[in-house]
Structure 1
Amino acid sequence: MRMAAVALCATLALGVVAGCAGTPPGGTAGGGGTVDLDLDRTDLAGLEAAMAAGRLTSARLTSFYIDRIAELDPQLRAVVAVDPTAAAQAAESDRRRAAGEPPRLLEGIPVLVKDNTSTGPQLPTTAGSTALAGSRPPAAAIATRLREAGAVLLGKTNLSEWSNFRSGRSSSGWSAVGGLTRNPHSPGRTACGSSAGSAVAVAAALAPVAIGTETDGSIVCPAATNGIVGMKPTLGTVSRSGIVPISAEQDTAGPMARSVADAARVLAAIAGPDPADPATAQAPAPPLPATPAARDLDGVRLGVLRVAEGASPETDAAFAATLRTLRDRGAVLVDPVELPGSADAAGAELTALVTEFARDIDAYLRSPGVTGPASLAELVEYNRRHADVEMPHWGQELFEAALATGGDTGRADYRAARDTATTLSRRDLDAALAGHRLDAVIAPTNSPAWPVELGAGDDFVLGSSGAAAMAGYPNITVPAGGAPDGDGGTLPLGVSLIGPRWGDAELLALAAAVEAALPERVRPPLPAAVLPADG
């Protein structure tokens, strides 16, 4: 696997880069210019400062990413489409800056968006399925917020088709539209999902930040597996209107970035009320800060959630090292904390989700601007007719199970399942957080990325996303070391911090402190993303 990654680095060298990730930027690159910005290490504040100082324009930055996508993405398959208006968006941002208009939160920053989220009529919104290949609905609320914050909507990222909710044998990161997204650290291993393309794009410096979505684990798992930061906010922090759903009870969008500071800035830009999404009306009125509050770890109380110990020795070792580091920095570890209802909650989750999917996908398919099958029943039939394209590796048993429910959320078995999943998860997390006076629960996010075998399903060894997902509470993963891949490389690992409902700002501040204490994130062996000063 490692040899394939090294070959990828060797064959994809760009004219404006110097060497591969891990090689310190030198004095010249791509024709003799002095290296100005290492875009794999420069955060959003650094990009903003460079543009404010006149050393960088959004047009040049956007052009760099478009070129990098063209060179690297045929192998990575993280990006399904570049927005044809991206260059014009960037030029307009530069015009505003030149005219002296106050820069906005993401002024001139290119952002990639998962392809279950509409960015407007310029690109289709497919959820990875050819059934929606011609569907161009109005922009999702978060896409509008990104534009209002000055962002350049660069394009769409690949995902596990239908957000990994069609079959239990699916492989994360595969869709009929985009093929298989490859892990840039080891191309034969999983990128996890369903926000695989967003995670890989950020890890590979195809964009500085991206948007993912999560029902259970679909932001935090790919983020950790690819060595970046991913945050699933409290449900209701970010509008879901215009996003292809699984379940209104658990779905949310969130930021994927290379640092907690960047994730906080993007979340501040996309958060806010939306009359089309009633869940957002429950969010507290003060806006989220664009910069995490400064704090240290001295006296911070963390409840240690031990997940499937012994199943992954590499994960156990990395998690133990993380806990030692945090304890040395003054954190108080309550070890262990228990979530006694987790097994029952997890057992009820799928029963609830299949019913909610039938209800919510029917509503989406009939919403304005969406073209293709008009119901789940029509979608199931479409897949049968196009099985060679849509189902070459696995079937659609989850779709069929959902169809059998009729989307009837009035049924007693459904109500019992949803109550079990949500109530037990909230009760467990509330008891742990309040009972032990915790700032957060801490847990390993992922085991090392496993080899992909299409049709064999995902080889999940462990995961800690379930309780926060079912409760609707915030969960953020930060890079926390790695594990040997057996071929001389390193597979990233992450650590998750789970906080109380609406505790997103405090959780971001804590995550920034944890991030600062831990080793620098593992970078993939790809051509370095450095931009020479002379253009």
Structure 2
Amino acid sequence: MTTTGTTADGVAVAAATIDQLQAGQESGRFSAVELVRFHLDRIDRLNLRGPELRAVLETDPQAEEVAEERDAERRRGAVRGPLHGIPFLVKDNLETAGGLRTSNGTTALLGLRPEQDATVVARLRAAGAIVLGKTNKSGWISGSAGWSARGGQGRNPHRLDRSPHGSSSGSAAAVAAGLCGFALGTETIGSILGPAGVNGVVGLKPTVGLTSRAGMIPGVPSLDSVGPLCRSVADAAAVLEVLAGADPRDPATSAATRTGYQDCLEQNALVGARIGVAREGFFGFDDHADAVAEEAVRVLAAAGATIVDRTEIPSLSQILSDENLMFAQLQEVKHHLDAYLAAAPGEHPRSIGELIAYNRAHADVEMPHFGQETLELVDGLSGDLADPACTTALATMRRLSQDEGIDAVLREHQLDALVAPTGGPAWKIDLVHGDPPARGSALLPGLAGYPAISVPAGAVRGLPVGVTFLAGAWSERVLLRIAHAFERANPAWFPPAFEPPGVG
């Protein structure tokens, strides 16, 4: 099969959904081995050559062997499920045992040797999916989204001088460019939603505690979640079906018993749905994003949804002005990252302090463009999560974002979900001045630990723009139903053009 290969129903493999890739295998159009070879060849031609997307850090030399096993199982009639034989990529802050490295995009952790897969990776393998490799991401050295010391500057496949956003940049760009069937990302605030929006793919940030973080290099554990980046909402539902559930390795998942994410998808799900439009704090940052979102609201209404406009978040001004909320997050980073580095097997820095020293000693590789001020700020904190200032800030964050935030507006207006622009079109990469201030839909659901899903909604001069649906805790089924019905009413996914720098 070549890079112009098609699935059983004639759809190009690089643009195919999981269902179409599964149908192609079932019909005998291609095998799992051929799918793996197709994607590895595409990575070879597009990642470090051609458009040089720099979305993938490394590929798994065992992928073809695993694919042979999946093909043998299929011949025996032992298909494991909807993900059987589907190649996927893993963000580089999720542990993979064996030959693939887990480095968080830094050379400092190349000696890290995880003893087992992250739980989410293990679950996908058990479901028959095939790990292709690890994706590039924004590293600890902030400045330009999608840049890491290992991978260099990732590019947006729609226009190569534009940012792929961060930090699940490589995962989103790889899905958009057809380098895999789907990919795993992680989010603290905006790391799935933002890349999904600018790369024109679907990104699902689950409720904190629905998917396990065991085997994830920690960000802010009270906010961290693991979710899929895909080419359709149905794909995201299929992957979440495997990822969701309790895990003894992550106590936060003890309540994660909900399933049935695929059987909730209905084309007419918008009929009777009540969707609020939160304008303050979500609109007004980018005229292009606003225009796409306004059209999305019209589509929702035409498909039968009841639109409740100007459903403002009562606590938003307090959230935006309370600097203590960031303090609580940085305290968590100090506590959990130090603990992770101290315990992780292998040869690597054992603390944030040692990581800072490593970066200084290898500044030409780790800090060629920007410094490590954020790491140094974090290292100066105590990391004491029992500090009353920290516990008070965390409680305030939850109260303002949940009880007096999302929950309050949903309750007051009897809403199923809120809709808002995910963010503006991708900005130009700037390794001198860095990125513009982050604007978009991710802050509120991020602080609340609540789910949100970004769906392609339109484009501006060839650059994708998405909208985000968000709601309360454990509302993934509701969001998937709404997002799927919107996607059917407003199909906006399109393959990237790989436009060279300076075009448009």
Q: Into which bin does the TM-score normalised by the smaller protein fall?
A: over 0.9
1:371 is matched with 347
Superimposed CA distance per residue, residues 131-161 of structure 1 (whole angstroms, 9 cap, x where no aligned partner): 1012121211111101110110110000001
Give the match for residue 226 of structure 1. Answer: 199
Aligned: 1:319 with 2:297: no
Q: Distance in 2 between matches of 1:253 and 1:35?
A: 32
Q: Write out per-residue CA displacement over residues 413-437 of structure 1, whole angstroms, 9 at most, x where no aligned residue.
A: 2222222222210021001112211
User: Matched residue of 1:366: which SS?
Assistant: helix
Say if 2:455 is the partner of 1:475. no
CA contact (8 A) 2:186 2:227 kept: yes
**2:38 is the alignment partner of 1:51:** no
**8 Å Cα contact 1:122-1:136 kept in structure 2:** no
Q: Distance in 2 between matches of 1:370 and 1:472?
A: 32
Counterpart residue identity of residue 351, structure 2: S
Select 2:431's aligned residue among 434, 454, 465. Answer: 454
For the Cα contact (< 8 Å) 2:159–2:498, is it kept in 1? Answer: no
Q: Does 1:135 align with 2:109?
A: no
What is the RMSD of the two structures over their aligned residues, measured on CA atoms? 1.9
Shift of 1:356: 0.4
For residue 69 of structure 1, the aligned residue among 20, 36, 43 is: 43
- Tell me the equivalent position of 1:160: 138
- Distance in 1 (CA, whole Å) between partners of 2:235 and 2:282 is 31
- Give 2:502's aligned residue: none
Q: Which amino acid aligns with 2:308?
A: V
Q: Write out aligned runs for 1:477-516 (5 A).
A: 477-484=454-461, 490-516=462-488
Can you give the 5+ residue segments of structure 1 that lack an aligned partner in the other structure?
1-13, 19-24, 26-32, 485-489, 528-535
Q: Which residue of 2 aligns with 1:400?
A: 376
Contact persistence 1:265–1:291 (CA under 8 A):
no
Matches within 5 A, 1:117-136: 117-136=94-113
CA distance in 1, matches of 2:437, 2:428: 11
State the AA in 2 paired with 1:319: A
Whether the 8 Å CA contact 1:344–1:420 is kept in 2: the answer is: no
Q: CA contact under 8 A between 1:481 and 1:522: conserved in structure 2? A: no
Report what 2:277 is aligned to.
304
Give the superposition deviation at 1:455: 4.2
Matches within 5 A, 1:308-457: 309-346=283-320, 347=322, 348-427=324-403, 428-457=405-434
TM-score by length of 2: 0.93
- Which residue of structure 1 lines up, in the alignment, with residue 178 of structure 2? 205
SS at structure 2 position matched to 1:293: coil
Counterpart Cα distance in 1 of 2:135 and 2:302:
39
- Where structure 2 has 5 or more consecutive residues not aligned to the other structure, the ranges are 500-504
**Bigger mean CA offset, 422-431 vs 209-218:** 422-431
Larger CA deviation: 204-213 vs 41-50: 41-50
Are the equivalent residues in 2 in contact too, given 1:110–1:152 (CA < 8 A)?
yes
Query: Deviations along 1:343-394, whole A, 9 cap, x unmatched?
Result: 4334333211111001110121123425301111111111111111111111
Q: Deviations over 1:147-195 (max 9, x none)?
A: 1101101100000013xxx44xx11000000001100111111110100
CA distance in 2, matches of 1:482, 1:507: 22
Q: Secondary structure at the match of 1:253?
A: strand
Residue of structure 2 in register with 1:22 after alignment: none
Question: Which residue of the partner structure matches residue 230 of structure 2?
Answer: 257
1:87-135 per-position Cα deviation (integer Å, ceiling 9, x unaligned):
0110000011111213323110001000111121211100011110121
Offset, 1:526: 4.7
The answer as to whether partners of 1:110 and 1:208 remain within 8 angstroms in 2 is yes
Is the contact made by 1:365 and 1:371 (CA closer than 8 Å) also made in structure 2? no
Seen in structure 2, the aligned counterparts of structure 1 residues 460 and 39 have a Cα distance that, compared at 3 Å, is farther
Paired positions, count: 490
Q: Which structure is richer in relative contact order (CA contacts within 8 A, separation 6 or more)?
A: 1
What CA distance in whole angstroms lies between the structure 1 residues aligned with 2:263 and 2:68? 27
| Secondary structure class of the residue paired with 2:254 | helix
**In the alignment, which of 92, 100, 114 is matched to residue 115 of structure 1?**
92
1:125–1:135 CA contact under 8 A, matched in 2: yes
Distance 1:345 1:370 in 2: 40
